[in-house]
Structure formats: C-alpha cells, structure tokens
Amino acid sequence: MEIPYTVTARPDTGLWNAKVGIWLFLASEVMLFGGLFSAYVFLRLDAEPGAWPHGLLNVPVGTMNTAILIASSVTVVMAWASLKMRKFRAYWWYMLVTILCGVIFLGVKLVYEWPQKFDHFGAFIKKDALEKYEPYLGNHHLAEKGLPQRTEISGHLHNKEALNDPNVKEYEIALDPVNADPTNPNMDRPHFLYVPPTDKIATIEKEDVEYANMFLPKHSAYFASYFTITGLHGAHVLGGVIIFTYLWLPVGTKLYKRNPEHLANRVEVAGLFWHFVDLVWIFVFPLFYLL
Amino acid sequence: MSLKGFHIFFITISTALALGLGFSCVWAAQTDDAPIYRNTAIFSFIAAALLVVYGFWFYRKMKRLRIIT
C-alpha cells in the first residue's frame, strides 16, 4: 500500500504529510525549550546580587560555534534549493558541508567547552570565614566600589582526593586570576576570554567551606541549567547530523533516482528541524554567554 | 511555512543577534579597554551587514527561481 500525500499536497490543506508532522513536532519543541529558558530566567532573576556566575564561558568560542550553525543553515537551504533545481551533485556537497558544520559544533562542545568545566573547581566560603580569605576574595576593595561581595574561590584543584576523602582536611587550589589578584580593577568585571588558572596556590580548610564541587551540574543552578540546556540542544544537533547523514548516503541517491521531489520534501523537513535547532542556539548564546 | 520563509526569519533573528553582540561589545569597551571587545564589535557589525546582504540576495534568488514557491 502506498502512503498518500508524501510528495504532493493534500488538496484540502495544501500541505503534504511530513510538513504537518514537522510543524506539530516543532510546536512541542518550542514548549520544551520555552519551559527550560523560562526556568533559567527565573532562577537568574531570583539569585542573590553577585551570586550568579559571570564570565565562565568563552565568548569567542561561543561566537565561532554560532557562526558555524548559521553557516550550516545556509548550506542546508542551498542543498534543498539544489534538489529543487535537480542539481544532485551540488546537493551532495552542500549536505556534506552541513554535516561537517554539525560535527564541528559538537566537537567544540564535547572536546573543548565541557571538559574545561569538568576540570574546574569552586569552593563557597562560609560567611564567618570570609575575612580569613580576604587576600583571595578582595571584598574590602569591592565594598569600596559598591560591588557585590565574592564568596567563591575557584581554580584548578590539585588534591582531587579531597573531594571524597574526609581525612583530607584542606583543598589545594591553583587559583583563577580573579582570586589570585582580587584587588586588580581588571578583575571587577567578568572576562570575555577564558583565562586559565595561575600558579598561585591557596589552601582552603574544609571547615571554612560552605559547599565545594567541580563545575558540574550539581555545582550551582547556573551549571545545572547550562548543562541541561546545552546538552539537550547538543542532542538535537546530533539528531540532525544523523538525519542529514542518512539523506546524504546512497539511500538519498536511490530516492532521488526514484522520485527527486520526495527527497526534496524530506530535505525540506529536515532543514526545518535544523533551522529550529539553530534558532534555539541563537537564544542560548546571548542568555548564557553574554548576559 | 516553507523552509524558504523559515530561513528568512532565521537570518533576520541572526542579524539582530549580531547587532546585539556588537552593541554590547561597544558598551563593554567603554569601561574596559581590552582589544577583544573592539575586535568582537567590528566582527559582529561586519557579520550583521553580511547577513543583511545575504538575506536580500536569498530573497531575490528564491523569487527568481519560480520553481521554489
């Protein structure tokens, strides 16, 4: 039995099946991501002044990833237009570039951005011990300027066994520049570029620490939101790459030979999904990297 | 909405993002003289201009190619 309206539109709706399906699916996706974005915005608005992390993400790398996704949305449209003009060779190349853009985006996320966070450590100091760690926090300097105080000391954790071993009483941290030189006016605002930890080591006693962890989802509401939203978005990018690869492989060639319009419709639907995924990133980027 | 319409919408939003990034860097450069802000602002404004040019080119091309409605 042949499924009707996979190539031609239904006369009453003017739409073919997959187009109705993809828009219904995208509507449900809007609700999914909309809920997560709303949660992030309300967490952010409700945070104590100065408590919400800033400048932990690398803006130039995020900008590059944004440019890659925008470029991939251009190439996927070109791939679709090539099919409509029955230029299969051009379609093949445009689709290959789209797949590569998706793979590069995921590579940057999984090989560079996320591991950098997993390797970073932060310790929130108890209120009554803040004075003791003033050389690393610089709160007197911040108070003079009317800026919110710091409570976290962060950097690269030297003795990782301190995380789980109750017999180890101290954390040894190679300090981030903001804690190594806290009264430097350049540290009053977040850095645009990622700045690696310094060689300056600080010893923080566990009894002075309210809470400490690596930069994992359980570190803070910020990282929980960051990993949830970028992880879900990354899963969508992976899904798009798998679909495009399927359409790019000989399966697509066979379908093109049998019915080129059918392949063009499939690419259009996949392209609509890809544009939605890119659009989500257009909101993720300013929300997490810039604001 | 077809892929063509969604693409034009996407390019419009991307242009707004590029302009937003550019203006935020100009604002940041006023308090911090690091060259990264100036360079990113220039990059963003160029990207926004290119996106506008591309958007118009794409619209005209799609209109010319009447096979894509």
Which among A192, A272, A285 is the nearest to B37, CB-wise? Answer: A192
Same domain, A126 and A209: yes
Sequence-ordered alpha helix ranges (H) in chain A:
17-46, 59-84, 88-107, 114-118, 134-137, 139-144, 177-180, 221-248, 250-258, 260-284
- Give the pLDDT confidence of A241-259 residue by residue, as tens digits: 999 999 999 888 898 999 8
Residues 6+ apart with CB under 8 A from B39: none
Q: Do A77 and B32 touch (CB under 8 A)?
A: no
Contact B51, B11 (CB under 8 A): yes
Six token digits for residue A10: 């239904």
Q: Among the three residues A190, A214, A238, which one is the final residue of a domain in this structure?
A: A214
Q: Is the CB of B37 less than 8 angstroms away from the CB of A85? A: no
Chain A hits for B21, Cβ within 8 Å: 63, 286, 290
- For residue A231, the enclosing domain spans 55-118+220-290
Q: A165, A197, A214: which is the final residue of a domain?
A: A214
Residue in A23, A193, A285 closest to B36 by CB: A193
Within-domain flag for A29: no
Q: What is the ipTM of this complex?
A: 0.88
Q: d(Cα A65, Cα A71) in Å, to the nearest integer?
A: 10
A71 and A94 housed in the same domain? yes
| Pair A236, A201 in one domain | no
A196 belongs to a structural domain: yes
Contacts of A251 (CB under 8 A, 6+ apart): none
Residues A226 and A106 in one domain: yes
- Cα–Cα distance between A181 and A187 in angstroms, integer? 8
Answer whether residue A253 is part of any domain: yes
pLDDT, tens digit (0-9, with 9 covering 90-100), for A199-223:
899 999 999 999 888 999 988 899 9
The C-alpha torsion from A222 through A227 and A229 to A235, rounded to 10°, is: 180
Residue B68: pLDDT band by 50, 70, 90 thresholds? low
Same domain, A138 and A94: no
Q: What is the rounded CA–CA span in Å between residue A104 and residue A99?
A: 9
**CA angle (A283 as vertex; A120, A61 as ends), nearest 5:** 45
Q: Does the beta-carbon distance from A85 to B65 stay under 8 Å?
A: yes
pLDDT interval class at B50 (50, 70, 90): very high
B36 contacts A186? CB cut-off 8 A: no
Q: How large is the average pLDDT for residues A273-290?
A: 93
B15/chain A closest Cα distance in angstroms: 10
Which residues in chain A are contacts of B13 at CB distance < 8 A?
A: 279, 282
Residue at which a domain ends, from A194, A214, A234:
A214
How many distinct structural domains can be found in chain A?
A: 2
Identify whether A41 is part of a domain. no
Does A151 lie in the same domain as A111? no
What dihedral angle (degrees, nearest 10) is formed by the CA atoms of A184, A154, A208, A157? -130
In a domain, A225, yes or no: yes
Domain harbouring A250, CATH code: 1.20.120.80
Distance CA A121, CA A160 (A): 9
Residues B3, A271: C-beta atoms closer than 8 Å: yes
Give the start-to-end residue ranges of the domains of chain B: 3-64
Instruction: With beta carbons less than 8 A apart as the criterion, state whether A137 and A123 touch.
Output: no
Co-location of A66 and A201 in the same domain: no
Q: How far is A270 from chain B (nearest CA, A)?
A: 9
**Interface residue A279 vs chain B (CB under 8 A):** yes
pLDDT digits (tens, 9 = 90+) for A134-183: 999 988 988 888 888 888 899 999 888 888 888 999 999 999 888 988 88
